[in-house]
Chains A and B, each alone.
Chain A
Amino acid sequence: MDSKEVLMLKRALERQKKARQQAEKILEEKSKELYDVSHHLKETNNRLENFLNEKTAELDGVFINIIDPYVVMDMQFNVINMNISAKEFLGYDHTIENLNLANIVHKDYIKYTVESFASLKKVGILKNYHAKIITKDKSEKYVQINSSLIYDKNKKPIAAQGIIRDITQETEIKHLLSEQKTQLDIIVENSPLSIVLTENGKIVKANQTFIKLIGYSEAELKKLSVKDISAPEDIDASIELMDKMNTNQLDNFTIIKKYIRKDKTTLLAKTSVNAYKKENGEIAYQIAMIEDITEQRNLELQKEKLLKELEYSNKGLQEYAHIVSHDLKSPLRSISALATWLNEDYKDILDDNGKTNLTLMQEKVEAMDKLIDGILKYSTIKSDNLDNTLVDVNTVIDDITSIIYIPDHVEVIIKNKLPTIMADKTKIHQLFQNFISNAVVHIKKEKGIVEIDCEDKKKYWQFSIKDNGVGIPKEYHKKIFEIFQSIGSNERSTGIGLSIVKKIVQLYEGNVWLSSELNIGTTFYFTLKK
């Protein structure tokens, strides 16, 4: 080998050596780098691990310390985890017994729950799920749940977690409120009174009663103001009162005013308006209660008219009674005079039969005269012309016994001293005279006794007139108080006396009745209010 060759080899060797040295250096550098990285990685890893631990611990703490119940369940509703609050709320502990949440949902909410879960699976989160559940102690609770899905590394949902909020009380209050609102609505809508809520004269709300009354729909009413449905003649008065209310001079007022219906007819209504004030004292609403008094008013007017007519016709009747009685009595007087003159002037010509007929004629005339008197008296007994004074009944009886015809065998006795009463003297006289004159003529016994007595019954006087006469059969006890009903065969009886008695007694809010036994006697009783 030549030196050239050797030199070449040497150079090559030299190059190789240099390259190896370079490679070694690179390797050494790289190795150090690697060591550094590895060391760094180890550090990072450690830090991460710590961090993870920290976070896990932190989460555990949060999980346990969440105040609201928190539950994690698998996709079949089985509870995997729950916090203390959840255990307390639901009454179940998943570590003791299996708990499937589907089992505690109230049956009314099953369908909704299935739908909600489907939505959760699709979207991943579910907000505002509301349901009723039954806790272990069988109590029903309303819950609101916000939940989300938990996925594995393959993005496959494996569980769902949710925070439960107990809204039982809230819901119950809500239900209660809505129930109360419904009840209130029922009251308002079905009230016989129309109720209208207004704000600054604009109609805000009206109940059905008012809608029916006024003929506008609710929607139409909301576009109207009170003024639009009020009769023009009443607006000024309304505004004045409303102004007073707005300036706090009035809290409420009542006005009788006319409203105009949609069909332009009017109605008269009693309207009571109350102000509803805000806390600052400003008026928020006016509440008007409207009562349709059209018919009532019409009835009142009708009643007034009728009363006037009645008064007029009553007065007319009384006058009429007097005139008729006068016009009937005058000819009777003439007939009586003519019969008397026939008897006087032709007594030599008349035979007994003729004379008897003339006497009978006189008797009939007399009976008719009495009848007319009775009718007149009966028709003029009125409460409005009572002249009440203190009347000593003893004196009245004395007066009567000195005026009327009393058969010799009859005696009228006052049993106990009679009271002095507050009454119309003429009426009391009429009253006793009817009883006494009735009693004295119906006694066939050898010694007739008519006994007058009185009992103080606190609120009224009870008088009695007892005789030992023929008595009155039971079936007539009612009938004898009816006008024109005479039961006796007595020609002098007109059948008016006892109906006059009844009318007078009624004027003093009393009663009249009798007890009677045939051939033993009759006792008439009557009461007069003190």
Chain B
Amino acid sequence: MNILFIEDDAIETMKLNRTVSKFQLKHKITEAKNGEEALAILNSKNSLPDIILLDLNMPRMSGIEFLKILKNHDTLKYLPTIILTTSENRADLLECYKIGIAGYIIKPLKYEDYEEKLRTVLQYWTINELIKG
């Protein structure tokens, strides 16, 4: 799977990479440090990711801002976008569902729990039929 991972925190990126390699999953992870960078990647005409993992709290362009732009785009709006955040703010959750998401995952405190959650998410999307842009 091609995964666009939008996250500003380096350790979070390490966590995902470590999880993916630990379970020997064959996913290609493209990292973007914020929404702007992610949009640049998406618009670069290279092949599109299968899914997007999106953090909400990021500098410059927040996850929600990015999501709005994405869902207003004629073609990009079809990309399954899963929120991966620490925010348990109900307002954020509702806002995301309103704009349109494919999932809302709260980052657990313990790394072991994180591994479990991420493995499940990735597993699900692996068995899912994807568009393959």
Mark out the residues of chain B between 86 and 103 whose CB falls within 8 Å of any chain A CB in the assembled complex: 86-89, 91-92
- Cβ of B125 within 8 Å of any chain A Cβ, yes or no, is no
Mark out the residues of chain B between 49 and 105 whose CB falls within 8 Å of any chain A CB in the assembled complex: 57, 86-89, 91-92
Q: How far is the CB of A334 from chain B (nearest CB, A)?
A: 4
Instruction: Indicate which residue in A337, A365, A366, A373 contacts B11 across the interface (CB closer than 8 Å).
Output: A337
Q: How far is the CB of A475 from chain B (nearest CB, A)?
A: 35
Q: How far is the CB of A289 from chain B (nearest CB, A)?
A: 51
Stretch of B26-34, B38-46, B107-115 on the interface side: B107-115
A334 neighbours in B (Cβ, 8 Å): 9, 11-12
Q: Which 7 A-B pairs have the closest CB atoms?
A: A340-B111, A334-B11, A337-B111, A322-B89, A329-B86, A369-B109, A330-B86
Contact (Cβ within 8 A) A340 B86: no
A365 neighbours in B (Cβ, 8 Å): 109
- Cβ of B18 within 8 Å of any chain A Cβ, yes or no, is yes
- Cβ of A17 within 8 Å of any chain B Cβ, yes or no, is no
- Cβ of B132 within 8 Å of any chain A Cβ, yes or no, is no
- Cβ of A341 within 8 Å of any chain B Cβ, yes or no, is yes
Residues of A contacting B: mostly: helix
Mark out the residues of chain A between 286 and 324 whose CB falls within 8 Å of any chain B CB in the assembled complex: 322-323
A376 neighbours in B (Cβ, 8 Å): 88
Contact (Cβ within 8 A) B111 A330: no
Which partner residue on chain B sits nearest A343 by CB separation? B111
Which bucket holds chain A's interface residue count?
20 to 34
- Report the Cα distance A330→B114, complex, angstroms: 13
Contact (Cβ within 8 A) A341 B86: no
- Report the Cα distance A332→B9, complex, angstroms: 12
In this complex, the member of A334, A366, A369, A376 whose beta carbon has the largest number of chain B beta carbons within 10 angstroms is: A334
A330 with B110: in contact, given A322-B87, A337-B15, A341-B18 (CB under 8 Å)?
Answer: no
Given A337-B11, A366-B110, list of 6 further CB < 8 A pairs? A326-B87, A330-B12, A337-B15, A337-B114, A341-B18, A366-B109
B114 neighbours in A (Cβ, 8 Å): 333, 337
- Report the Cα distance A302→B18, complex, angstroms: 58
B12 neighbours in A (Cβ, 8 Å): 330, 333-334
Q: How far is the CB of A429 from chain B (nearest CB, A)?
A: 13
Can you list 8 contacts pairing A with B, beta carbon distance less than 8 Å? A322-B87, A329-B109, A334-B9, A334-B12, A337-B14, A338-B11, A341-B18, A366-B110
B15 neighbours in A (Cβ, 8 Å): 337
Mark out the residues of chain A between 66 and 97 whose CB falls within 8 Å of any chain B CB in the assembled complex: none
A333 with B87: in contact, given A341-B18, A341-B111 (CB under 8 Å)?
Answer: no
In this complex, the member of A330, A338, A340, A341 whose beta carbon has the largest number of chain B beta carbons within 10 angstroms is: A330
- Report the Cα distance A283→B110, complex, angstroms: 86
A330 with B9: in contact, given A322-B87, A337-B111, A340-B110 (CB under 8 Å)?
Answer: yes
B107 neighbours in A (Cβ, 8 Å): 333
Which partner residue on chain B sits nearest A366 by CB separation? B109
Which partner residue on chain A sits nearest B22 by CB separation? A344
A373 neighbours in B (Cβ, 8 Å): 88
